[in-house]
Amino acid sequence: MLCNRATDRAEDKAAVPVRAGAVRRPVRQAPVHLLLLGLSVLLPLALFAWTAWSERGHALAEAERAAARTTAVLHEHAARVLETNELVLSEVIRQTEGRPWEEIGGDGRLWSYLLRVAADLGQPTDITLADAEGRVRMTTARFPAARDDSLVGQEDFEALRGRQGWSYIGLSPETAMAPRQVTVSRRRIGPDGRFDGIVRIGVPVGQFTEFWGRYAPSIRHVVGLARSDGRLLSRWPASDQPEWLPGDSPFMRNVLARRDGSYTAFSRIDGVERINAFAQVKDYPLHIAFSVETSAVLDAWTTRMQLLGAYTALAAAALLGMALMAVRKYREQQSASGRWREIADRLAAESARREQAEAALRRAQTLEAVGQLTAGVAHDFNNLLQAIRSGLYLLSPRVPESSRKVLDASLQAVDRGAKLVRQLMVFSRREALEPRPVDVRALIAGVGELLQKAVGAPVAIETAIDADVAPALVDPTQAELAMLNLAINARDAMPQGGTLTIGARNASLAEPQGAAPAGDYVVLSVSDTGMGMPPEVLERVLEPFFTTKAVGKGTGLGLSMVHGFVTQSGGDLRIESRPGLGTTVSLWLPRAVAAPAPEAEPSAAPAAPDANGMGCSLLLVDDDALARLATAAALRELGHEVAEARDGEEALIVLGQRRDLRVMVTDYAMPQMNGAELALVARRGRPDLTVIMITGYAAGLPGGKPPGVQRLLRKPFRMEELDAAVREAAGLEAVAG
């Protein structure tokens, strides 16, 4: 840093030559002053304008999405009402099929049945049967029907008599006997195939409007139900409205163009601008529409902007005042302060750069410490695993055949320990995702035991995996962690126990949906039978740190981490949940083109060592006594003569005394002199010495294989590998295992 500062000072002197008696004239700064004054006012105003416009757009967009969600609920209600009435019509027609009208009109049991059906529908519902001349033969309003009751002239009767379809949805006028009703009518056909009257159910308009009024009473909204030809059947709240909507109205233009959607327009009825969402009710010629006043949506935005505007004005005034003070101060001192300001700026920048560098260094040192700690733990753990593996190798010929399974299990435990070490090293490096083709069925089977331990005995785990499920292109470790997160969430949702189902199936998207682009996917799902989530919770479950658990019971990061993993993998996450019915979380993972690579077979018990094989004389150097003793014993079992040393200095003494030693097997990490340094020193005096290096570092050595080293083996290695390396170094034939 001293050299840099000297250079800066030299550059300053070169850049600003000073002559004796010379006086630096102040530079005219008036335009800059005016610019600063203008920016102190314009920048806050510009920021306020941009924020206001952006917030307004967000508010309107969210209102449009909310309108679409509300329309979906209203659509389901209307569809349920109409489908129920269609079922009732079908049943009434079935019961009266082929019967003459005189018999139907006097059937008291049929009238009682219709009364029960009307009562079960929940609202005062009128069921009417009329013959081909329009005379009402039976009605739930009275029994028997009045002889002068007629449907002639009413739109549904005239439409069906005129052969306009088999069913008709219309609107009956309000009478003293019945309120205004939405009618669902069905044509009745006589035995000769001709028109023989209609069966009609009148649904009170209140059945729709009461639900509409309860659904969202907190905002100024309008709900309407209209036929596709423009006939307005109902509107909430009620108003002086035309019975037919103009064909060029915004609503009619939109419903004729598509089944559902949204738009913003001024109403032809009351002239109010609204955000509108609409949807066709199933396959009926009906559309349900939900509208919310734009002014209601913008009320909260207006309040926020007024408050923000006040703060902006205060900030602009403060900035303007500070700018005026700075300009005045600058004018008072500009002849003397220019140079010092430049120096101060440089010092401040240098100080900031130094602070940033120090902060970055501290972060790097922290990460380096974590990495070194992890690597050290991995090194010591590998030494222990090596001692265990060598000991198992020595025990192999002495274990009876009946106990071979125990020996195999012990070797598999060593393999799993080595895999754990590799995972620790991955943590210390903080590597990115490593997606590869993964057998989803094997992935689920492999994590099943861990999931069962995580959820506990009260929760039963089931699987629903399609037979033809394809491999997924995913990081298997992160996929297992994602399933564990989801299983723990499911467990918390089932405090009294339940069933956790893990499923997998193939799926394809013809066009992008959510975060998932078009393509082929494997859908991995985790379902529970827990309490489920209400809509307001479901909308926020992916927010970081959002949780409904008690303090200390959850961080709110589980689903966020799963969502991040899935999207980083190129897929999407979807959640379905209803209160009391459980939750299903689906991970849409990209489908792999290539087949998954076969998993390595677990270690089996080694073949019994052949002590009759011709070995060589070698030196084994390792500061870890357990690993050294076990490895030396195994090498002797393989026919080698083994001399031992616990560090580099002792190894050099042994090599000086034993010229017959042809091979040196040395550990890398040792005190005072590491294995690479030992190899260089030893080969200076013994150029014919062959060096094999072993290391407990799971990631290998930083620079790869050191100079003068023939082979590099990582602990825990198999004794067959070391034996083969020693025999190759000594020029001996390998012993058949």
Checking DSSP bridges between strand 498-509 and strand 459-465, what pairing results, if any? Answer: parallel
| Element housing 714 (H / E) | strand 711-714
Predicted local distance difference test score (pLDDT) of residue 32: 65
Predicted local distance difference test score (pLDDT) of residue 334: 66
Cis status, amide bond into 144, omega within 30 of 0: yes
* Residues 565 and 466 both lie in one domain: yes
* Residues 578 and 675 both lie in one domain: no
Q: Do residues 342 and 15 touch, judged by C-beta distance below 8 A?
A: no
Task: Please name the residue ranges forming H helices in 396-456.
Answer: 404-429, 440-455
- CATH for 701: 3.40.50.2300
* Residues 577 and 469 both lie in one domain: yes
Cα distance between the two ends of the chain? 64
* Residues 584 and 665 both lie in one domain: no
Look at residues 175, 206, 237 and tell me which one is the last residue of a structural domain. Answer: 206
Query: How far is the C-alpha of 480 from the C-alpha of 486, rounded, in Å?
Result: 10
Whether 362 is covered by a domain: the verdict is no
Query: How far is the C-alpha of 490 from the C-alpha of 584, rounded, in Å?
Result: 9
Whether 135 is covered by a domain: the verdict is yes
614 pLDDT tier (thresholds 50, 70, 90): confident
More confident residue, 409 or 531: 531
Overall number of domains in the chain: 3
With 60 as the cut, is the pLDDT of residue 117 above it? yes
Q: Which residues form the domain of 143?
A: 82-206
Q: Please count the CA atoms within 13 angstroms of the CA of 325 that sit on its side-chain side.
A: 6
More confident residue, 674 or 329: 674
Distances (CA, A) of 181 to 142, 289, 334, 447, 541: 17, 19, 85, 59, 42
Look at residues 206, 231, 265 and tell me which one is the last residue of a structural domain. Answer: 206
Per residue in 335-384, pLDDT (tens digit) is: 666 677 788 888 888 888 787 557 545 544 544 555 566 666 767 777 77
Which of 250-264, 399-413, 591-605 holds the top average pLDDT? 250-264
Q: What one-character-per-residue DSSP string does 126-170 give?
A: EEEEE-TT-BEEEETTBSSPPTT-B-TT-HHHHHHHTT--SEEEE
Distances (CA, A) of 188 to 91, 114, 256, 475: 12, 17, 30, 63
- Spatial neighbors of 357 by CB under 8 A, at least 6 apart, are none
More confident residue, 288 or 9: 288
* For range 9-17, the mean pLDDT: 39
Length of the chain: 737
Q: From the CB of residue 170, how many other CB atoms can be counted at a distance below 10 Å? A: 21
* Residues 661 and 532 both lie in one domain: no
* For range 233-245, the mean pLDDT: 75
Per residue in 376-408, pLDDT (tens digit) is: 676 777 777 877 877 777 777 777 777 777 777
Which of 31-45, 171-185, 440-454, 462-476 holds the top average pLDDT? 462-476
Tell me the Cα Rg of the chain.
42
- CATH for 464: 3.30.565.10
Which of 147-156, 536-545, 671-680, 704-713 holds the top average pLDDT? 671-680
Predicted local distance difference test score (pLDDT) of residue 610: 46
> pTM to 2 decimals?
0.38
Whether 336 is covered by a domain: the verdict is no
* For range 230-238, the mean pLDDT: 80
Helix (H, G, I), strand (E, B) or coil at 355: helix
